[in-house]
């Protein structure tokens, strides 16, 4: 079934983004798979299988304003409107004390995790504000690190705390345009990025420990729930996590 609605998912070539974009497509959303590597995006679309809804794979560097503007022009030209943005794309870095983190790593991570989310939200908000009927939904990927840091994670944690501020402000500013904004904070979904959890990662007490993980499909299902709400209802913040991971009390 094709709902006629259009979803945009960044970081859709792998992991959480791929699982979520696939779930949206299979549930009737025309879905734009966005990422840096066209081949991975094309493969993700192919693996989703035949669907009544339409898929579009677009390579884009979300940290570049021109790329993002071109992306959303392509989306509007193709589908006519933007109903959902899942601001998912992001990067991390190995656990490192702040004085050993290269400034280039900080700059790159801020560019992708924060500026990229801002640019995509900015373009989506503009499209949602101008289209008829007006409105749409933006869902930001915050992470458990938006609340509680891991050791040696200054750049990642700082950007994820900032995403919470972006979410709250968009939720406020979007009201008069029927634009809802919420945030999903994910803990230990099993993706390539989270594989280290299964072999041992640094803990706050100085030890290394294996952590519980969960199937990434649970994240996709949660985003699908948030996306399916009418625009007069919103999940402002949702935490989806492996039940036994260290977060509540960080232990």
What is the pLDDT, as a whole number, of residue 206?
A: 86
Mind listing the pLDDT tens digit for each residue in 101-116?
999 999 999 999 999 9
Question: Does residue 1 belong to any structural domain of this protein?
Answer: no
Cα radius of gyration (the chain): 18
Question: Does residue 191 belong to any structural domain of this protein?
Answer: yes
Question: Does residue 249 belong to any structural domain of this protein?
Answer: no
Residue 237 clears pLDDT 80, i.e. is over it: yes
Residue 85 CB partners (closer than 8 Å, separation 6+): 7, 8, 10, 120, 121, 124, 136, 137, 138, 139
Residue 251 clears pLDDT 70, i.e. is over it: no
Question: Does residue 212 belong to any structural domain of this protein?
Answer: yes
Question: Dihedral angle at the C-alpha atoms of 211, 109, 166, 135, nearest 10 degrees?
Answer: -100
Question: Does residue 124 belong to any structural domain of this protein?
Answer: yes
**Number of domains the chain is built from:** 1
What is the pLDDT, as a whole number, of residue 248?
A: 80
Of 72, 79, 156, 247, catalytic:
156
| Residue-number span of the structural domain to which 90 is assigned | 6-244
Give the burial class of 202: count Cβ atoms within 10 A of its Cβ; 0-12 exposed, 13-18 middle, 19 or more buried: middle
Q: How confident is the model at residue 1 (pLDDT cuts 50, 70, 90)?
A: low
Question: Does residue 173 belong to any structural domain of this protein?
Answer: yes
> Known catalytic residue: 147?
no
Q: How far apart are CA 91 and CA 222, in angstroms?
A: 21
What's 177's domain CATH number? Answer: 3.40.50.720
Mind listing the pLDDT tens digit for each residue in 202-230?
888 888 889 889 999 999 999 999 999 99
Question: Does residue 207 belong to any structural domain of this protein?
Answer: yes
Any idea what the Cα angle at residue 82 is, between residues 79 and 87, rounded to 5°?
125
Residue 153 CB partners (closer than 8 Å, separation 6+): 92, 93, 95, 145
Question: Does residue 76 belong to any structural domain of this protein?
Answer: yes
What is the pLDDT, as a whole number, of residue 199?
A: 86
């Amino acid at each position: 079934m094709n709902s006629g609605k259009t979803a945009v998912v960044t970081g859709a070539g792998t992991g959480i983004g791929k699982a979520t974009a696939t779930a949206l497509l299979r549930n009737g959303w025309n879905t734009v798979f966005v990422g840096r590597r066209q081949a991975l995006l094309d493969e993700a679309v192919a693996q989703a299988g035949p669907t009544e809804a339409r898929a579009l794979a677009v390579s884009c560097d979300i940290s570049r304003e021109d790329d993002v503007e071109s992306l959303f022009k392509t989306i509007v030209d193709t589908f006519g409107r933007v109903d959902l943005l899942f601001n998912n794309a992001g990067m991390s870095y190995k656990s490192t004390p702040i004085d050993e983190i290269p400034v280039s790593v900080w700059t790159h991570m801020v560019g992708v995790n924060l500026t990229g989310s801002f640019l995509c939200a900015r373009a989506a908000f503009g499209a949602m504000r101008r289209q008829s009927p007006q409105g749409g939904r933006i869902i930001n990927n915050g992470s458990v690190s938006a609340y509680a840091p891991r050791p040696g994670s200054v750049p990642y944690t700082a950007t994820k705390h900032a995403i919470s501020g972006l979410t709250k402000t968009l939720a406020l500013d979007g009201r008069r345009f029927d634009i809802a904004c919420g945030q999903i904070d994910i803990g230990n979904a099993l993706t390539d990025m989270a594989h280290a959890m299964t072999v041992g990662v640094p803990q706050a007490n100085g030890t290394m420990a294996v952590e519980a993980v969960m199937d990434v499909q649970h994240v996709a299902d949660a985003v699908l729930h948030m996306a399916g709400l009418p625009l007069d209802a919103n999940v402002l913040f949702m935490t989806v996590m492996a039940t036994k991971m260290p977060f509540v009390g960080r232990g």
